[in-house]
Every structure is written in structure tokens, then in C-alpha cells.
Amino acid sequence: EGYQVTGQAWADVDGDGWLDLYVTDSIGPNTLYHNNGDGTFNVSPLNDQVALPDHYSGGASFADYDNDGWPDLLVLGREDDVLLHNEAGHGFRDVTAEAGVSDPYASKTASWADYDNDGWLDLYVANWACVPRCARSSGVSGEPDRLYHNNGDGTFDDVTDLLGGLTYGGGFVARWLDFDNDGDQDIYLVNDEFIVPPGNKLFRNDGPGCAAGWCFNEVSAEIGADTKVMGMGVAADDWNGDGWLDLFFTNAGPAVLLEKQGGGPFANVASEVGVAMDPRTVAWGATSLDYDNDGLRDLYVASMRGGVSGFNPLFRNLGDGTFEDIGRASGADDPGPSVGVAGADYDNDGWVDLVVGNYDRGYHLFRNRGGEESGNHWLALKLVGGGPVNRDAVGTRVTVTTADGRSQMQDVHNGSSVGSSETLTLHFGLGDSRPQTVTVDWPDGTQQTFNTLAPDRTYRIDYNGGATPTTAGRSLMQNLLDRLSF
């Protein structure tokens, strides 16, 4: 309790099989919580190395940028960012200067992907201009975001110029995704119109061949994605199951759901499908999940009303193209005022849990107790890259077809919501069915197919190997509170 919340990030920092939680405090210090594996957390013995008590922290993100098998930690700040290298689970070392990723701007969210498919994670940092001043009349023109290329030797180059100088404008978050299904990672940038009215931007990755060395083309207007709102957070998923990723982003006002029309443009269907939200709402982070394991992707939004408490919506996917808000009935309707949210199955029981950051009121951890009431099945997949594919497998797509003929597609991504870093494990709800075919499309074009994976299991799938079960669903042998507070 008492945190000035800004960011939350999940990762297994010590390799014990349980996801640990890092939360930031804008006035410091930050805290790393160790997952004890029994439903409880303690302050990690490594905490002093990542607390950053004198750092004005923003968002946080874990990523294995050097492909050594250990999640490293990037902590964003108002005037500088800090990259902490994971020393094989035994500690963290500040490598900011040698890596070259310190940023003098007010950074909000870090997003990782391998845009040139060289096997190393590159980095996009969204910067916002509203700190310390925040007024339309102040003449703020926005602060430049940063795109860093990973050189594979522990250093990064600033290659923001590849985006053509079009990143100025109060960026809150960028989501890497393959919006056009051509096999590479594009960038969708959510901008806050409160600062300047540039609109959101979609940078299509067109590969090598440009004078600058790599081609990103800004195609927002032609593809119907240049919405001008006070954008805050973003989630991307295939909510309608057509094989194309859609985009949901929050706003100080009605939310927007851009549904990809096959190979054509995007169209805003938020009102028609029931996720537009009350226009008095200021919504922030958003995450996509299948909270009830019925095989349909749902949507949770961290929000507030005019800067005060409200109730966060949980939009349940009804399977007919529409959603209903069941937040109040679900037990996850945190009254807020909420800013961030990140999903993860912290107790390894096969049901996705949520950590929600509330402004001035700390972090709340919501345990998903669906397994106590539902017989729905699930499948969790931890992808591990190798060779030409980054270790975190970011950019990999997985399609699961169940015995009842339904298909679901998800992508491994790092960086969405706002200021958050979710688990990289893909979680598929199966309803009352079982997996029939699991198809893995790696970023380099390699495809693997598995036909014998069992339900209610977590598998590790290696680029250089096969699928190995890691754990069955485990129930905690104790009664837990629905909400744990930090």
C-alpha cells in the first residue's frame, strides 16, 4: 500500500519456476517480490539491487536482451532509464552506460521485439511530455520516442531516425505486432492528444532496402489506424478469431477497438461490440486474457472516472462478436483509481491472475479462482528461441485448434498495457475440449506442429527441440484472499 504506482512487471528472475513481481514507485523505492510458490510473496533478497530509491521510476519491463536465458530488467524514469543485467539469478548489475540506453526524457513504456530478425531483441521506448508540466497552453510539442537496435554484443544503437522523425507527441506505449501477417514486426504507437494532436501511428515494417538501412513506413491513415484520442494503453489480440490481430486502446473518453478487416483496413467497432466504455471514464492500462478458459479472449481495463475511483471493467467475450461487462460480478472490479494492469498465472494453476496498480493506493493482486468452479480446460506454452530466433521468442505466433474445430491464434509479445510487462507464456483456454493441433510459427519462418499435447498442462517448446511438459496444474494448498495488497 502507499505506492505512487507507475509500472508492474512479471518474470521468473531466479529460475525456480514461479513468476516474481516487480513494482515501481514514482517517488521510490521500487520493490521486487519473490514468489514463494505457496501463494505468498516476500521481498526478494535481490531487492536492494533493483530498488533504485533515488530514481523517479516510470514503467518497468523484463526481457532477455542478451539471450543468456535470464530475464533482465529495464526501469524507465522521468529523466533517465536504467538497464539492470540479471547475473544468472544471483543478482543484478547496472549496465545502462555500456548498453547505451539511457534516455533523458519522461519514459512511460518499454516494448521489445526483433524487428530485423537477427535473433536479438530491439527496444522501443515511448516518451511522454507531461512531466513536470502538463497543460495544453504550455507549448509542449511532445518528446521523441526512442528506437534502439540491439547489436548482439550488449550494446544498442539509437536508430530512431528509421521512423522518419514521426515519433514526437506524448507517446504512452508502443505495441509490436505483425498487423499485416507478413512475418515481421510492425509498430503501433499510442499517443496522448492532451499534449499534441498527432494521432496514433502505425509503422509498417518493410524490411531492408532503404537508404537508412531498414524501412519503416508510416501507414496509419491509409490503414484506418490514425485515431486521434488521449491515448493511454493498448492491447492487441484476435478477439473475433479471424486470424488477424485487432487493436484495443484506452482513452480519456470512449475506448477504441480497431478490428482488422482481413487484408483491408481497420474499423472502429467499440460501440457495436460493447467495449466503448462510459465517456466520463479515463482508462489506462488494458490486457487481453481468457479469464474463464472458455476459448474466447476477454478484455480487462484499468480505469478511473475524472481522476477518482470507479470500477474496472472486465469485458467477457460472448462468442457472437460482442462483449458484456462483468467486472462487478467477477471480483476483479478494483475501485481504483487504477492505472496499470498485467496478467500472469502466478500460482501455476492454469487460470490467469491480474495485478492492478492503483494511483496512490498501491497494487492489488487478484487471484483467478475459476478452477474452483469451472471444468474448463487450458493449455500454457512457454516458447524458447534459439539460433536465429531471440531467446524470449517474441514475434512467434501459435495457433491452437481444438477437437471441437475451433482455432485460436496468439503472438508472443513484450510491452503493452501501459508501463507494464506481462508474462511471455501463452495461455489458451480450451472450454470443454482438448488441443488437437498446435502450430508454432517462429519469426524466421520455421514451423512446428504438435498433435499430442495434453490439456491442463504447461509445455516448454524449444526452437531447437520439441515440446516438454513442465508442470501440471497445481492448486494451492491453502485458502487465499481474493485480493492481496502490496
pLDDT of residue 486: 52
374: CB partners within 8 A, 6+ apart: 292, 293
From the list 200, 96, 65, the residue with the least C-alpha distance to 145 is 200
Residue 389, C-alpha cell as written in the block: 530466433
Structural domain tally of the chain?
1
Measured distance CA(438)–CA(452) in Å, rounded: 9
* Residue 435 belongs to some domain of the structure: no
* Residue 344 belongs to some domain of the structure: yes
* Residue 443 belongs to some domain of the structure: no
Q: How many CA atoms lie within 13 A of 417 on its CB side?
A: 35
pLDDT of residue 142: 58
Least confident interval from 114-123, 227-236, 255-264, 455-464: 227-236
Greater pLDDT, 150 or 135? 150
* Residue 253 belongs to some domain of the structure: yes
pLDDT band at 433 (very low <50, low <70, confident <90, very high): very high
Greater pLDDT, 57 or 479? 57
Measured distance CA(190)–CA(142) in Å, rounded: 13
Mean pLDDT along residues 291-301: 97
Measured distance CA(398)–CA(296) in Å, rounded: 15
Is residue 127 scored above 70 in pLDDT?
A: yes
CATH of the domain at 198: 2.130.10.10
pLDDT digits over 56-71, tens only?
888 999 999 999 999 9
From the list 145, 149, 147, the residue with the least C-alpha distance to 172 is 145
148: CB partners within 8 A, 6+ apart: 100, 101, 122, 123, 124, 125, 156, 157, 158, 159
Q: Please give the share of the chain, as a percent, with pLDDT higher than 70.
A: 89
Is there a contact between 418 and 59 (Cβ–Cβ < 8 Å)?
Answer: yes
* Residue 201 belongs to some domain of the structure: yes
pLDDT band at 176 (very low <50, low <70, confident <90, very high): very high
Exposure string (b/e) for 34-43, b if CB count within 10 Å is 16 or more? Answer: bbeeebebee
Is residue 365 scored above 90 in pLDDT?
A: yes
Least confident interval from 264-268, 284-288, 302-306: 302-306
Mean pLDDT along residues 350-368: 90
Residue type, 292: D
Measured distance CA(260)–CA(241) in Å, rounded: 11
Mean pLDDT along residues 72-90: 95
* Residue 379 belongs to some domain of the structure: no
* Residue 418 belongs to some domain of the structure: no
* Residue 459 belongs to some domain of the structure: no
Mean pLDDT along residues 4-31: 91
Measured distance CA(365)–CA(484) in Å, rounded: 5
Mean pLDDT along residues 363-380: 93
pLDDT band at 456 (very low <50, low <70, confident <90, very high): very high
Cβ-based neighbour number of residue 465 at 10 Å? 11
Print the SS3 string covering the chain: CCCCEEEEEEECCCCCCCCEEEEEECCCCCEEEEECCCCCEEECCCHHHCCCCCCCEEEEEEECCCCCCCCEEEEEECCCCEEEEECCCCCEEECHHHHCCCCCCCEEEEEEECCCCCCCCEEEEEECCCCCCCCHHHCCCCCCCEEEEECCCCCEEECHHHHCCCCCCCEEEEEEECCCCCCCCEEEEEEECCCCCCCCEEEEEEECCCCCCCEEEECHHHHCCCCCCECCCEEEECCCCCCCCEEEECCECCCEEEEECCCCCEEECHHHHCCCCCCCEEEEEEEEECCCCCCCCEEEEEEEECCECCCCCEEEECCCCCEEECHHHHCCCCCCCEEEEEEECCCCCCCCEEEEEECCCEEEEECCCHHHCCCCEEEEEEEECCCCCCCCCCCCEEEEEECCCCEEEEECCECEECCEECCCCEEEEEECCCEEEEEEECCCCCEEEECCCCCCEEEEEECCCCEEEEEECCCCCCCCCCEEEC
Is residue 140 scored above 50 in pLDDT?
A: no
Q: How many CA atoms lie within 13 A of 278 on its CB side?
A: 12
Cβ-based neighbour number of residue 206 at 10 Å? 15
Mean pLDDT along residues 133-140: 45
258-264: list long-range contacts, CB under 8 Å, 24+ apart: 258/224, 258/225, 258/227, 260/179, 263/180
Domain that holds residue 283: 5-373+479-485
Is residue 283 scored above 70 in pLDDT?
A: yes
Maximum average pLDDT range among 274-283, 325-334, 346-355: 346-355
Residue type, 3: Y
pLDDT of residue 308: 52
